């Protein structure tokens, strides 16, 4: 009998969890599972704001895929996916002459920055999206600080963060922690540094609990962060940003955290998308493609017809991966599948190493050290899910 081929694209929260599930639940020889990822490591996206600010080394935000995947159960290929052909059921990789064929395809390729066509952003701003991209931010920022000693231009020590969603706020929190050390290193008076967070909406963290938003903004303002709310960035140049209305903020470092969209490879495959994301059915399948499952940031899951979709988070990507790891086994064995149900457990956002805000469970608000501890527990849980207690002990950081 022909063994079905399951091909998983992307070793992020969704893809890696699917691979782990299949590795656990499939009997040997029941299916051929292949995982493709462009790096040999999984990056812990939820921690990328730390190395981007330089508060931790980027190695703390990544782990080797082969340290959590058994190569005799899941075939791992390090390569870049370049295209998906849904007609021939084949996936093309950058460095392999032969495409990979599949019976079932799991797409977990994550997201890309949403720039809304804002002029100059792609060319002049930095993005918190991968180990490579955050390494560049840190090194660029440090180089700008080092130049200040000679050139004394204020824009060299001005950092603009575009967007005050969770990524923007978490990054600003890390910057606040990093600045005293960085200023000591380059002999710069701390009060000379400007960290400017620009937000288009009338409030930071639009839609989030107002008490927690006030706590976060008061804390960050006390640390010297300037907020420009209700003022969208209209353009990004090599000298800084221009806000709607014409005001210019000169800054040598601009980091865009203004939102995400689905991976373009999915759109290019001819699968129906909304801002690059695919509205999946109850079994996480793409419309019109019974054998293609989409998870994580590339997928759109609606609580019900008239509601907004769940935001793209590691939390939902992980649950989708856990679900699919079991559901694909059930599909292969007896052709049956369950329906995915998302269980939102809350949202916790860090404001640097010791501060955080969050809502856990139904409506329990946390702030300060307690929230920060909760955030660290959530991060450790991800390590535990991937590699048990030994990975927690090896990679966990308090």
Residues designated catalytic: 170
Asked whether the beta carbons of 53 and 176 are under 8 A apart, the reply is: no
Q: Which one of the spans 12-20, 223-231, 283-291, 352-360 is the region binding ligand FAD (CB under 6 A)? A: 12-20
Q: Which stretch binds ligand NAD (CB under 6 A): 86-94, 98-106, 136-144, 346-354?
A: 346-354
Tokens of 57: 């080394």
Rounded CA gap, 136 and 58, in Å? 11
Minimum distance of ligand NAD from residue 235's CB (angstroms)? 10
Residues of this chain, 206-235, that bind ligand NAD according to CB under 6 A: 206, 232-233
Region 172-201 residues binding ligand NAD, contact defined as CB under 6 A: 198-201
Q: Residue 266: name the closest of 88, 128, 105 by CA.
A: 105
- What would the two tokens of residue 303 be? 């609580």
Record the tokens describing residue 256, joined without a space.
């865009």
* Segment contacting ligand FAD by CB under 6 A, of 156-164, 183-191, 266-274, 310-318: 310-318
Taking the least distance from each CB to ligand NAD, the nearer of 38 and 231 is: 231
Binding mask 306-335 for ligand NAD (x = CB under 6 A): -----xxx----------------------
Among residue numbers 64 through 123, which ones bind ligand NAD (CB under 6 A)? 116, 118
- What is the CA angle 375-253-379, rounded to 5? 15
The correct pick among 6, 8, 11, 161 for binding ligand FAD (CB under 6 A) is: 11
Pick left, alpha or beta for residue 187 (phi over 0 → left; psi -120 to 50 → alpha; otherwise beta).
left
Instruction: Single out the residue of 105, 164, 220, 337 in contact with ligand NAD (rule: CB under 6 A).
Output: 164
For the segment 72-91, give every residue that binds ligand FAD (CB under 6 A): 80-81
Instruction: Rule CB under 6 A: say whether 242 interacts with ligand NAD.
Output: no
Q: How many CB atoms lie within 10 A of CB 367?
A: 18
138 Cα distance to chain centroid: 18
Which residues, at least 6 apart from 254, have a Cβ–Cβ distance to it below 8 Å? Answer: 124, 125, 126, 159, 160, 162, 236, 240, 241
**Rule CB under 6 A: which residues touch ligand NAD?**
116, 118, 162-168, 170, 198-201, 206, 232-233, 257-260, 311-313, 347-349
């Amino acid at each position: 009998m022909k063994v079905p081929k399951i091909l998983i694209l992307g070793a992020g929260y969704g893809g890696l969890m699917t691979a782990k599930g299949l590795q656990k639940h499939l009997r040997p020889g029941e299916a051929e599972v292949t995982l493709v990822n462009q790096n040999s490591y999984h990056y812990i996206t939820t921690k990328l704001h730390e190395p981007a600010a330089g508060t931790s080394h980027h190695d703390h935000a990544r782990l080797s895929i082969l340290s959590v995947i058994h190569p005799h159960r899941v075939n791992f290929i390090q390569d870049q996916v370049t295209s998906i052909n849904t007609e021939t059921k084949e996936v093309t990789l950058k460095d392999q002459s032969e495409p990979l064929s599949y019976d079932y395809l799991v797409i977990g390729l994550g997201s890309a920055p949403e720039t809304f066509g804002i002029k100059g952003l792609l060319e002049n701003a930095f993005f918190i999206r991968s180990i490579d991209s955050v390494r560049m931010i840190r090194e660029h920022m440090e180089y700008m600080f080092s130049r200040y000693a000679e050139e004394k231009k204020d824009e060299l020590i001005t950092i603009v963060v575009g967007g005050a969603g969770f990524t923007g706020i978490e990054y600003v929190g890390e910057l606040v922690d990093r600045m005293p050390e960085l200023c000591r290193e380059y002999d710069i008076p701390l009060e000379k540094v400007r960290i400017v967070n620009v937000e288009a909406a009338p409030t930071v963290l639009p839609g989030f609990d107002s008490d927690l938003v006030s706590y976060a903004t008061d804390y960050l303002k006390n640390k010297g962060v300037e907020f420009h709310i209700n003022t969208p960035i209209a353009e990004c140049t090599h000298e800084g940003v221009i806000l709607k209305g014409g005001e210019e903020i000169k800054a040598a470092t601009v980091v865009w955290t203004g939102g995400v969209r689905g991976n373009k490879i999915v759109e290019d495959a001819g699968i129906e998308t909304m801002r690059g994301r695919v509205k999946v059915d109850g079994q996480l399948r793409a419309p019109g493609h019974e054998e293609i499952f989409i998870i994580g940031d590339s997928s759109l899951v609606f609580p019900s017809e008239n509601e907004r979709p769940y935001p793209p988070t590691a939390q939902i990507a992980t649950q989708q991966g856990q679900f699919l790891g079991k559901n694909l086994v059930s599909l292969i064995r007896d052709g049956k599948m369950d329906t995915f149900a998302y269980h939102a457990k809350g949202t916790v956002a860090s404001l640097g190493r010791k501060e955080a805000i969050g809502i856990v469970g139904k409506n329990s608000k946390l702030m300060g050290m307690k929230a920060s501890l909760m955030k660290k527990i959530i991060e450790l849980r991800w390590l535990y899910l991937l590699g048990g207690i030994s990975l927690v002990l090896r990679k966990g950081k308090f």
